Amino acid sequence: MPKYTRETLKNLLDGKLPFSEVKVMMSSFKDPERFEMMLEIHQSRVPWPEKILLPLGLHLYIVLKENGDRVVKCDCGYEFGDYRKNWKLNALVYVRDTEEKIAEIYPKLMGPDPRWMEIREYYCPGCSTQLEVESVPPGYPVIFDFKPDIDAFYEKWLGKPVPTVE
Amino acid sequence: MAMDLSQGKVYGIGWAGRTLREMLEESERLFRETGRYYGLEKLKLKEKDPIRYERIFSRIRGGLVNARETALNISASPIVKELGELCFALYTPEGDAVALSTGIIVHVHTISDAIKYMIRNNYEMNPRIRPGDVFGNNDAMIGDVHNADVHTLIPIFYKGELLGWAGGVTHEIDVGAQYPGSMSYGQANRFPGDGFIVPCEKIGENDELLKSYELRAQMSVRSPMYWLLDEKTRLAGCLMIRDAVIRLVEEEGVDVYKQFIREAIEEGRRSFLNRVKEMLIPGTYEAPSFIEVPFKDEPVNQLMQKDTMNHSPLELTVGADGEYILSFEGANKWGHHSFNCAPSPMQGALWVLLTQTLIPNDKVNDGAYLATKCILPYGSWCNPDYQNVSTTLSWLFLIPGFTGMIRSLSRAFYSRGYVEEVLAGYPVTCNLMQGGGINHFGIESAFTNFEISSQGTGASAVKDGEGFCAAMWNPEGDMGDIEAWEFIEPLLYLGRRVKPDTAGHGKYRGGPGMEALRMVWKTDHQYLYNAGDGYTVNGGGLFGGYPGSSGYRHNMRGTNMQELIKNKLPYPTGDGNPEESEMENLVKAEKVDFDQQALTFMREYGEWDLYLSMQRGGPGLGDPLERAFSAVEEDLNEGLLSPRLAGSVYGAVIVQGEDGKWKVDVKASEERRQEIRRKRKMRGVPVKEWMKKERKRILKQDIIEPVKDMYKSSMELSETWAKKFRTFWDLPEEFQFD
């Protein structure tokens, strides 16, 4: 099994690892300690103290609150609430539903027709980062991208208890 | 199969005198009862002699790859010879895939379905399965994606006993459908519209194709030479596999071979479950997709002359024990178009995508299939309740339908820390250019251009996507040589080049698409289709990245190209940014189609007419405001990004030097990005507030007909999805679209 240094993984995460090395990494067996090592890297970079249980995206994490709650949190500190509910419902949304709004993103004729499909941009209310984009027909329910089973993951797959408040 | 009349007992061609049906039933019973392939508890051969086990696998795999690489040289079709649209696989007597070659491995499981169909229908008794027999199949309702993909299957006998099957598949240039091309459409139903269908028939004996079959095929398609050479390609490959297997059996012993194939499949099943636990996160992932069918004003069959939309509500559930369940609950109904999809191709698509993501190794077989489950609602486009649906272009729904699976897997890869595996999905593989008529040699012909093998890939979480190189259905994308296409198509290439602004924007952008500008040459009778997404964008986008662009149609008929060439005046070699269309600026034409109607029925073209074929870019990943300015600058100077979008999407303030090169003013751009972030805060609305407004819109049904039609159909077909829709928008229980 390959092993990678923390430095290598930091470079990987930051897109700084040369592709020749990334390619070797992709073609090799996976390093089982990766989850823990990446978690440590993420934890060392966020400006808040809560323990990260699971990274959800470039800026979002599921964290353990002092009262034992597990919430979705942006690296800016904004909290979206219980991870079992769709974090997008507590975000800001901007819907590109006119030709003019879509033309800011795509050239003429190369974006969706807003009558058939709109572009929904979900922003963090804290730092205004664009966290997700949906391309859906008007009237489509907000997509709940991912609801992880954290307990099964830690207990059955990692073989360790889910971190709790001490 | 033989019968002992004194005992009334039937002796089959299977192992120990059993019939194939008995073997299949036993295999299914053992799996049902134990959850393990053939009930195997221990992989005895693998455990006792792992080196031997691996050597046997390598011999089989080597034989399959060798068969593919050798046999493709028999074909004359660029689709097969240059692009490698073929693959071979080895099966157990019951039809379970043991190992496969490289190539369009989407078909490994579709061939398995075809073998099981023959067994269930007792082919052993009639028409009999004997050494030297050759079977053909291209029936999607039995086991295939569409009839353009033609299977050859041969039984492998050893000392009178069926050891298994060799199977091969190629994609044909034309299928003799109502309209020309391998994936043409416009017909209402499979019969008579879809053309030449061989529903698991015996087509050869004594290792040769039957003359009657060859003549029938010749009379049934528009490109008989390509069809027949492809038949020989597949048969040659299958025979090579048979020889390789027999050699192996003689060296290793038949009992070892039999033990090996059982263990290889069970190992495949176990490996898949372990891989799921190694790479993913248990949970539920939602990733629906949509594509339009704008046929209201198209001269297709009357039953389909309306605008509709496809709904692929993909939901992936990864269970606590590694279960992998893919559901399309909520998919809307099948239609009188050719984009319907039988369950077999849905399994094929799942398979081909898993081999490029979760299990990207050569040791893949039907064990992975046994470890997954697909929920395909009966009556929907992905499991029609009408046997006569047309399926010539199943891929039009199937391709966008599965793009969400890649995004879902990528969410898991990212959470798990394997960020190098993340991909923001893939685009549709369009524009699909196909057609026919009198060709440049003066004969009636048809073609399908397979530049569609080369779209942009999705962005990764650590780098940009790759340009014009991939198709979700073929892991070895290749656009083919221009000269090869010009040989079979009566259209010259005026140019083939990068298409700006096709890549989905993001911190990491998708891979760009390309465009080819074609001019009809030496014929006045050519019928051409456009096929792809125009009113919708596909392929999603991940973590704040945008989908790649949609396609559009730009074709010119009755042009002045002859005059431009004669007078040595500038002519276009592409279209570039449609806002500054090169074609529009340089060419005059009597009839111009320049719009978002990217999925059309065929139109007639004459010599000197122009046809633009644009391939898509991949989706992006991450907030575009986090993209490095140096990368924006590079994209501008490489012609991948238009200056206007560099500002509006990436917040780049740019200046052009005297040498024509663009430069980003970093300081001014950083300020502009801050300004865009401020604007986001102002224009962004709390989702719950927006939902209240949107709910009123839904209650008023203020949505265009095709979208309403899609919702209505999904709600009628699935009470579960209807409840989900009504619950989300807090709608009355009786709510339904008109």
> Residue B175: inside a domain, yes or no?
yes
B542 and B522 fall within a common domain: yes
Per the structure, the complete domain to which residue B707 belongs is given by 687-729
The domain tally of chain B equals: 4
**Rounded Cα gap, residues B308 and B511, in angstroms:** 29
Would you say residue B2 has pLDDT above 60?
A: no
B665 and B712 fall within a common domain: no
Give the model's pLDDT for residue B3.
55
B606 and B693 fall within a common domain: no
**What is chain B's mean pLDDT, rounded?**
95
> Residue B84: inside a domain, yes or no?
yes
Please tell me if residue B700 touches chain A, with a CB cutoff of 8 Å.
no
Q: What angle (nearest 5°) sits at the alpha carbon of residue B223, between those of residues B222 and B224?
A: 105
Please tell me if residue B170 touches chain A, with a CB cutoff of 8 Å.
no
Give the model's pLDDT for residue B720.
98
Please tell me if residue B691 touches chain A, with a CB cutoff of 8 Å.
yes
Would you say residue B4 has pLDDT above 80?
A: no
For residue B208, give the H/E element and its range.
Answer: strand B208-209
Shortest alpha-carbon distance between residue B116 and chain A (Å): 35
**Rounded Cα gap, residues B256 and B309, in angstroms:** 53
Q: Are B463 and A138 inside 8 Å of each other by CB? A: no
Please tell me if residue B577 touches chain A, with a CB cutoff of 8 Å.
yes
Shortest alpha-carbon distance between residue A164 and chain B (Å): 19
For residue A43, give the H/E element and its range.
Answer: helix A34-45
Kindly identify which residue of chain B lies nearest to residue A14, measuring between CA atoms: B462
Retrieve residue B382's tokens.
């992905």
**Rounded Cα gap, residues B443 and B457, in angstroms:** 38
Would you say residue B622 has pLDDT above 90?
A: yes
| Torsion angles phi and psi, residue A144, rounded to 5 | -95, 95
The answer to whether the CB of B537 falls within 8 A of the CB of A107 is: no
Give the model's pLDDT for residue B475.
75
Omega before residue B127 within 30° of 0, cis: yes
> Residue B413: inside a domain, yes or no?
no
> Residue B705: inside a domain, yes or no?
yes
Digit-coded pLDDT (tens) for A1-25:
899 999 999 999 999 999 999 999 9
- What lies within 8 Å, CB to CB, of B54 at 6+ separation is none
> Residue B331: inside a domain, yes or no?
no
Average pLDDT (B590-595) is: 98
B179 and B195 fall within a common domain: yes
Give the model's pLDDT for residue A152.
98
B650 and B702 fall within a common domain: no
- What lies within 8 Å, CB to CB, of B32 at 6+ separation is none
What does each C-alpha distance from A154 to A50, A148, B408 come to in angstroms?
18, 11, 20
Residue numbers of B between 296 and 315 with CB closer than 8 Å to A: 309
**Rounded Cα gap, residues B74 and B80, in angstroms:** 9
**Rounded Cα gap, residues B27 and B261, in angstroms:** 13
B635 and B710 fall within a common domain: no
**Rounded Cα gap, residues B143 and B114, in angstroms:** 5
Q: Are A137 and B552 inside 8 Å of each other by CB? A: no
Please tell me if residue B277 touches chain A, with a CB cutoff of 8 Å.
yes
Q: Are A145 and B281 inside 8 Å of each other by CB? A: no
| Torsion angles phi and psi, residue B191, rounded to 5 | -105, 130
What does each C-alpha distance from B640 to A160, B501, B509, B516 come to in angstroms?
48, 6, 10, 15
Please tell me if residue B735 touches chain A, with a CB cutoff of 8 Å.
no
Of B282, B418, B535, the CB nearest to A148: B282
B454 and B484 fall within a common domain: yes
Average pLDDT (B478-482) is: 92
Give the model's pLDDT for residue B105.
80
Domain boundaries of chain A, sorted by first residue = 1-45, 90-136
Q: Are A25 and B420 inside 8 Å of each other by CB? A: yes
For tokens 């870019």, the residue is B617
User: Best interface-test mutation with A: which of B359, B535, B554, B692 has the largest number of A CBs within 10 A?
Assistant: B535
The answer to whether the CB of B435 falls within 8 A of the CB of B448 is: no
Digit-coded pLDDT (tens) for B60-113:
999 999 999 999 999 888 888 888 889 999 999 999 999 999 888 888 889 999
- What lies within 8 Å, CB to CB, of B646 at 6+ separation is B632, B635, B636, B652, B654, B662, B664
B674 and B718 fall within a common domain: no
Q: Are A127 and B688 inside 8 Å of each other by CB? A: no
Q: In what order do the strands lie in the sheet with B434-438?
A: B444-448, B434-438, B526-528, B603-605
pLDDT band at B9 (very low <50, low <70, confident <90, very high): low
Shortest alpha-carbon distance between residue A86 and chain B (Å): 11
Shortest alpha-carbon distance between residue B113 and chain A (Å): 31
- What lies within 8 Å, CB to CB, of A129 at 6+ separation is A59, A74, A76, A123, B544, B623, B625, B626, B677
Digit-coded pLDDT (tens) for B444-468:
999 999 999 999 999 999 999 999 9
List chain B residues with CB under 8 Å of A42.
Answer: none
Give the model's pLDDT for residue B106.
82
Give the model's pLDDT for residue B6.
52
The one-letter code for the residue type at A62 is: I
Of B538, B544, B551, the CB nearest to A130: B544
Q: Are A145 and B729 inside 8 Å of each other by CB? A: no
In this structure, chain A runs to a length of 166
Closest CA to A35 of A117, A128, A142, A148: A148
Would you say residue B319 has pLDDT above 80?
A: yes
Q: Are B284 and A147 inside 8 Å of each other by CB? A: yes
User: Best interface-test mutation with B: which of A106, A122, A129, A147 has the largest number of B CBs within 10 A?
Assistant: A106
Q: DSSP for B302-362, please give it.
A: GGG-SEEEEEE--EEEE-TTS-EEEE-TT--B--SSS----HHHHHHHHHHHHTTTT--SS
Angle between helices B254-279 and B224-252 (to 10 degrees): 110
pLDDT band at B476 (very low <50, low <70, confident <90, very high): confident
Shortest alpha-carbon distance between residue A64 and chain B (Å): 16
**Rounded Cα gap, residues B250 and B163, in angstroms:** 12
Omega before residue B431 within 30° of 0, cis: yes
Would you say residue A61 has pLDDT above 80?
A: yes
Q: Are A145 and B286 inside 8 Å of each other by CB? A: yes
Digit-coded pLDDT (tens) for B115-136:
999 999 999 999 999 999 999 9
> Residue B198: inside a domain, yes or no?
yes
Average pLDDT (B510-530) is: 97
Give the model's pLDDT for residue B600.
98
In this structure, chain B runs to a length of 738
B605 and B467 fall within a common domain: yes
**For B559, how many CA atoms within 13 A lie in the half-sphere containing its CB?**
29
pLDDT band at B362 (very low <50, low <70, confident <90, very high): confident
Digit-coded pLDDT (tens) for A76-112:
999 999 999 999 999 999 999 999 999 999 999 999 9
Digit-coded pLDDT (tens) for B672-687:
999 999 999 999 999 9
Of B544, B649, B686, the CB nearest to A131: B544
Out of A149-153, B51-55, B83-87, which region has the weakest mean confidence (pLDDT)? B83-87
Tell me, letter by letter, the H, E, C secondary structure of A102-163: HCCCCCCCCCCCCCCCEEEEEECCCCCCEEEEEEECCCCCCCCCEEECHHHHHHHHHCCCCC
Retrieve residue B460's tokens.
């990764």
Q: Are A133 and B546 inside 8 Å of each other by CB? A: yes
B435 and B530 fall within a common domain: yes
Would you say residue B8 has pLDDT above 80?
A: no
Digit-coded pLDDT (tens) for B553-588:
999 999 999 999 999 999 999 999 999 999 999 999
B631 and B606 fall within a common domain: no
**Radius of gyration for chain B, computed over Cα atoms and rounded to the nearest angstrom:** 27
B591 and B514 fall within a common domain: yes
Give the model's pLDDT for residue B677.
98
Please tell me if residue B419 touches chain A, with a CB cutoff of 8 Å.
yes
**Rounded Cα gap, residues B642 and A106, in angstroms:** 10
> Residue B389: inside a domain, yes or no?
no
Would you say residue B1 has pLDDT above 70?
A: no
> Residue B8: inside a domain, yes or no?
no
**Rounded Cα gap, residues B142 and A17, in angstroms:** 47
The answer to ipTM > 0.85 is: yes
Please tell me if residue B687 touches chain A, with a CB cutoff of 8 Å.
yes
**Rounded Cα gap, residues B180 and B222, in angstroms:** 8
What are B326's strand-pairing partners? B316, B374
Closest CA to B476 of B75, B69, B83, B77: B83
Give the model's pLDDT for residue B77.
87
Closest CA to B621 of B519, B487, B449, B504: B504
